[in-house]
Chains A and B, each alone.
Chain A
Amino acid sequence: MIRVGVVGVGKMGLLHSAMVRRLPDADLVGVMDNNIGLKPLLRSMGLSVPFYTSLDSLIEGSRPDALFVCTPHSTHLPIARQGLSRGMHLFIEKPLADSIEASRELLEIGRSVDPVCMVGYTFAYLPIVRRAKEILESGEIGSVRHVEASMVISQVLSAKKGWRYDPSQSGGGVLMNVASHLAYLLYDFFGPARSVTATLRRIHSTKVEDEVEALIDFEGVQARLNSSWSVPGHPASHFQVKIEGALGSLHLTNERVRWTASRAGGEQVEYAAGLGAGVGFDLGGDGFYGEGYYLEDQDFLASIAGRRRPRVGLEAGFHVQEILDAIYRSGSRNAPVSLEAIPS
């Protein structure tokens, strides 16, 4: 039985706490949040595990084997440093950190120690995304020439408060909080990026970007990434990826993957609604993200039990952070940025 502690009990911390409770071979032994006011609320919600207000007290009091880190991005590094120094396995909510420097330090610490480290890019586990990757890898649409990826949500339709909108805690706006999922997906499909040209725009926010547009070169594959959290009409986040290949094309969205391949002849469609087998518990709403949360937590715990690497390790998290960082650099300089130029 793996003893699990959850650090930060906001929306994501609560979700992971619930998932851990439903996964076999895991025992939620304590939660930590610096907001003591959450304690009675969580208890009355049924979360009857010890509540701590410091990481030290969680580690000393409940002796977890693994931590879910669900706090503001700027705290990921210090928490990870502390957890790893005590030999704990870490699940770090995306993105890996608030900056490339913090991510690099985290990667280096992670490489030097034994425990399993994973970054919570849920898209890696969405069945519809896995299916799209299978189709790409099968070569059905041939070598990829051009990609367009977008992700939108109606989240910031006026100036908002909170740590997500404070770059000193989040590291950025829509790119860090929303489009990082899309950056992961592109990295997962096409590998590390080589160069980036980007534009960032503020619409309602005063300190972070509300929209991002980037042209990313993935070693010969040109991908255009667009994202906004200030588009009306999208109560839930929606993504789409259009891929043009030498032999056909593929269109991936939350709901389906549709592809045409000259060999297969004609268009084929598979719906996310038919691809959720193996998901034991679902805390999502009407959409399919709930499936991803279950599967990623399951992979983290199975990786610990089997002493193997999870699907999204620190290296993947770092490569995505390189893309995010390059987009911010390019946006601020108004010029292309080569990723090789980032000191390593």
Chain B
Amino acid sequence: MIPPIVLGCDSIRGVSYRSAERAAELRTRFERPERIEPLLRRALQAGITGMLTPYHRSLLVALDAFPHRSWDLYPVIPDMSALLRDVSDSGAIGAVWPRIRRLTVWQKLVLGVRGLREAGGLVSRDFRSFLAVLLDLELAPFHRYRPRAIFLSAQITDLALAFDNAPLVFRFADLARRRFRAEPALETHNLGTLLPALDRWGAPIRIVASPVNLYGMKMRPTQSICEELIRASGRTIVATKTLIGELIPAPQVAEYLARLGVGSAALDADDPSELQGFLDAFRGGPASGLSPDGSQAQPSTV
């Protein structure tokens, strides 16, 4: 279900682990959809057709330039940083409004009916109802891509994990399958705690995205525990923050990920001309299913 290599979105979102200057440069560059388009085109040429991303307006505009179904998007929602910022700026209602404005008239109608179903939960301040409405709102811009998997963002996953909140994860899994006909997946920054918890809960989650990198950055509680669990896990692990903004050379990353046996790797490239170099390095590793011309010969699926 998740291809061996997907495009990550850190660079496009202006996340840098090198410097603030680079983060600012990335943000400025990728504010404009026409600057994102060449990166997407080059990725497609290289055989990358999947992308792990939260809502990013310029990215979705850039994707409009591509034929329908060129890209498989795997949304990471809700974007809690953006939501908290909007709540802080405009209050809870003010934060919801721009998300409603993204919707088509039909989506507003459908979501309105669904919202009524959650009304009881919203009135009684049930977080699971808030989450259901939030997922609806944040997924709407992705509908035309018919996502095959939806990732619950790390800030929600990890909060649920901290409070041992299995019902929230089950509710998300149910919503993803029933309402959005997609595979439920989790993003986490605490892989070494989450994987045993999912087993303990018997949670129907088969895909987990987590930072996996040579620095051990955000591999909690320790890099070695995460590595051990990745090797033993029956779940598909999508490695994110693999290059940490190119702090680690791609060949080393490829070798490391192959050794661990991750199911998929997200590549945060920002320069179309560098993409091929990364891919060449990755092909010996988790992307070994890619054929020499870059097309996906035997995609590993979940």
Contacts and interface: CB of A to CB of B under 8 A. Distances in A.
Nearest to A47: B163
18 contacts: A21-B162, A21-B163, A41-B127, A41-B130, A45-B159, A162-B88, A235-B82, A235-B85, A238-B20, A254-B20, A255-B19, A271-B18, A271-B247, A274-B217, A281-B158, A281-B221, A282-B158, A282-B220
Interface in B1-50: 10, 15-20, 24, 27-28
A287 to B, nearest CB: 9
Contact of A285 (B16, B155, B168): B155
Given A283-B162, A284-B189, A256 B125 contact: no
B218 interface: yes
B126 interface: yes
B159 A233 contact: no
Contacts of A48: 163
B236 interface: no
B163 A235 contact: no
A227 to B, nearest CB: 15
B85 to A, nearest CB: 6
Interface string B211-250: 0010111101111000000000000000000001001000
A75 to B, nearest CB: 20
Contacts of A282: 158, 189-190, 218, 220
Contacts of A45: 127, 159-160, 163, 165, 168
Contacts of B160: 45-46
A107 B171 CA distance: 47
B193 A281 contact: yes
Interface of A: 11, 14, 18-19, 21-22, 37-38, 40-41, 44-48, 155, 157-158, 160-162, 233, 235-236, 238, 240, 253-256, 271-274, 276-277, 279-286, 290
A281 B159 CA distance: 11
Contacts of B301: none
B297 interface: no
A98 B215 CA distance: 40
B165 A46 contact: yes
A276 B165 contact: no
Contacts of B165: 45-46
Contact of B220 (A44, A162, A279): A279
A158 B89 CA distance: 8
Highest count of chain B CB atoms <10 Å: which of A19, A37, A160, A283: A283
B99 interface: no
Contacts of A157: 89
B181 to A, nearest CB: 25
Contacts of B128: 44
A249 to B, nearest CB: 16
A281 B220 contact: yes
Contacts of B127: 41, 44-45
A157 B124 CA distance: 33
Given A41-B125, A271-B215, A286-B10, 15 more contacts: A21-B164, A41-B126, A41-B127, A41-B130, A44-B125, A44-B128, A46-B159, A47-B163, A155-B88, A274-B216, A277-B223, A282-B158, A285-B154, A286-B81, A290-B189
B84 interface: yes
Top 8 closest pairs, chain A to chain B, by CB: A46-B165, A46-B163, A18-B162, A44-B127, A280-B221, A41-B125, A40-B125, A273-B217
A27 B85 CA distance: 31
B19 A253 contact: yes
A155 B85 CA distance: 8
B160 to A, nearest CB: 6
B159 A271 contact: no
Nearest to B245: A273
Given A44-B127, A235-B85, A285 B162 contact: no
A152 B17 CA distance: 17
B250 to A, nearest CB: 16
B225 to A, nearest CB: 10
B300 to A, nearest CB: 27
B110 interface: no
Nearest to B193: A281
A317 B167 CA distance: 40
B20 A253 contact: yes
Nearest to B248: A273
Contacts of B116: none
Contacts of A40: 124-126
Contacts of B89: 157-158, 160
B17 A44 contact: no
A43 to B, nearest CB: 8
B80 interface: yes
Contact of A46 (B17, B82, B91, B164): B164
A255 B27 CA distance: 16
A289 B216 CA distance: 16
